[in-house]
Amino acid sequence: MVRLSLILPLYRKAWPLTSAVASRLDPLMPVEEEKTPDYHHDRFFPARPGQVLNQRYQLATKLGYGANSTVWLARDLHRWRWSEEKYIAVKINATASSSRKRSVENEVAILQHISKLNPNHQGWHFIRKLSDSFNIEGKYGSSHCCLALDPLREPLWLYQRRYSDGVIPSGILKVLVQMMLHALDCLHSECRVIHTDLKPDNIMIKLEDLGLLEKDAQDEYDHPLPQKHIGDRIIYLSRNNFGPLRKPTGIIQLVDFDLSVSTKPGKLHFGPIQAEIYRAPEVILDSGYTFSADIWSLGVMLWDLLEGKSLFEPQNTNLVDEYDDATHLHLITYLIGPPPKEFSPNGQRSTIFYDSDGNLISGEEKRRFISFVKRMMKWRPEERSTAKELLDDPWLHEDFLEE
What is the per-residue pLDDT across 104-133, written as a single tens digit (0 to 9) for each? 999 999 999 998 888 899 999 999 999 999
Same domain as 234, residue 382: no
Enumerate the known binding-site residues for ATP. Answer: 91
Task: Render the burial of 148-159: b for 16+ CB within 10 Å, e for the rest.
Answer: bbbbbbbbbebb
- Which of the residues are catalytic? 197
Q: For the domain that residue 214 is a member of, what is the CATH number?
A: 1.10.510.10
* Residue 273 placed within a domain: no
Instruction: State the pLDDT at residue 4.
Output: 61
CB of 278 closer than 8 Å to CB of 152: no
Enumerate the known binding-site residues. Answer: 91
What is the per-residue pLDDT across 175-222, written as a single tens digit (0 to 9) for each? 888 899 999 999 999 999 999 999 999 999 999 999 999 999 999 999
Last residue of a domain, one of 243, 262, 281: 262
Q: What angle do CA 60, 62, 67 make, to 5 degrees?
A: 150
* Residue 313 placed within a domain: no
What is the per-residue pLDDT across 55-97, written as a single tens digit (0 to 9) for each? 999 999 999 998 899 999 999 999 988 889 999 999 999 987 7
Same domain as 80, residue 225: yes
How far is the C-alpha of 28 from the C-alpha of 43, rounded, in Å?
Answer: 19
* Residue 121 placed within a domain: yes
Total number of domains constituting the chain: 2
> What residues make up the domain containing 382?
367-403
Same domain as 258, residue 373: no
Same domain as 230, residue 85: yes
Last residue of a domain, one of 205, 229, 262: 262
Last residue of a domain, one of 237, 262, 287: 262
Long-range CB contact pairs, 48-53, < 8 A, 24+:
48/234, 48/236, 49/18, 49/220, 49/221, 49/224, 49/236, 50/14, 50/15, 50/16, 50/17, 50/18, 52/14, 52/77, 53/90, 53/92, 53/134, 53/136, 53/146
